[in-house]
Structure 1
Amino acid sequence: MSDLTSALLAGAIVLVVVLHLAWQARASRSRASMALAVEQDRIRTIIADAANVSDGTAGVITWEGSWNSKRVQVRTIVDTLATRKLPARWLSVSITEEVAVPATFDMMMRPGSPTTFSNFDHLEHTLPKAPGFPAESVLRTDRRAARFPQGLIASHIEIFSEGRAKELLITPKGIRIVWLLAEAERARYGVFRQAEFGDAALDPALIERLLMSVSALRDAINKSERQAA
Structure 2
Amino acid sequence: MNEAALAVAAGGVGALFWAHNRDRRRAIARRQSVFDNCRGLLKDAEKCGDGRGYPELHGQHHEHPVQLALINDTVQLRKLPILWVSVTLQRPLPHWPGALDIMIRPTNTEYYSPHSSLADGLPTPEGWDADAVIRCEDRVRLAPHLDRLTPHVCEFLSDGRGKNMLITPRGVRLIWRVEESRRGHYLAMRQPLYENEQLDRGQMQRLLDIAHGLASDLGKEIH
TM-score interval (norm. to shorter): 0.7 to 0.9
C-alpha spacing 1:36/1:134, structure 2 compared with 1 (3 Å): same
Whole-angstrom CA distance in 2 between matches of 1:130 and 1:82: 27
Q: Which moved more, 1:10-19 or 1:134-143?
A: 10-19
1:127 to 98, 102, 122: 122
Whole-angstrom CA distance in 2 between matches of 1:179 and 1:54: 20
2:73 to 75, 79, 101: 79
Whole-angstrom CA distance in 1 between matches of 2:148 and 2:139: 20
Query: Is contact 2:105–2:133 with CA below 8 Å preserved after alignment?
Result: yes
Question: Which residue is equivalent to 2:110?
Answer: 115
What is the TM-score of this pair, normalised by structure 2? 0.86
Query: Is contact 2:31–2:53 with CA below 8 Å preserved after alignment?
Result: no
Question: Which residue is equivalent to 1:52?
Answer: 47
Query: Is contact 2:31–2:197 with CA below 8 Å preserved after alignment?
Result: no
Question: Which residue is equivalent to 2:161?
Answer: 164
Query: Percent same amino acid at aligned positions?
Result: 31
**Are 2:150 and 1:154 equivalent residues in the alignment?**
yes
**Are 2:214 and 1:217 equivalent residues in the alignment?**
yes
**Count of matched residue positions in the alignment of Structure 1 and Structure 2:** 220
**Structure 2 segments unaligned to the other structure (5+ residues):** none
Query: Is contact 1:110–1:137 with CA below 8 Å preserved after alignment?
Result: yes
C-alpha deviation, 1:144, in angstroms: 4.4
C-alpha deviation, 1:39, in angstroms: 2.1
Q: Relative contact order (C-alpha < 8 Å, sep 6+): which is higher?
A: 2
Partner AA of 2:57 in structure 1? W
Q: CA RMSD in A?
A: 2.4
Query: Is contact 1:45–1:204 with CA below 8 Å preserved after alignment?
Result: no
Query: Is contact 1:132–1:155 with CA below 8 Å preserved after alignment?
Result: no
Whole-angstrom CA distance in 2 between matches of 1:127 and 1:207: 29
C-alpha deviation, 1:109, in angstroms: 0.8
Query: Is contact 1:129–1:139 with CA below 8 Å preserved after alignment?
Result: yes
Structure label with greater radius of gyration: 1
SS of 1:195's equivalent? coil
**Structure 1 segments unaligned to the other structure (5+ residues):** none
**Structure 1 outlier segments of 4+, above 4 Å:** none
C-alpha deviation, 1:40, in angstroms: 2.8
1:35 to 30, 33, 54: 30
Whole-angstrom CA distance in 2 between matches of 1:49 and 1:16: 49
Q: How does 1:1-40 map to 2 (within 5 A)?
A: 6=2, 8-9=3-4, 11-40=6-35
Query: Is contact 1:52–1:63 with CA below 8 Å preserved after alignment?
Result: yes
Q: Which moved more, 1:108-117 or 1:199-208?
A: 108-117
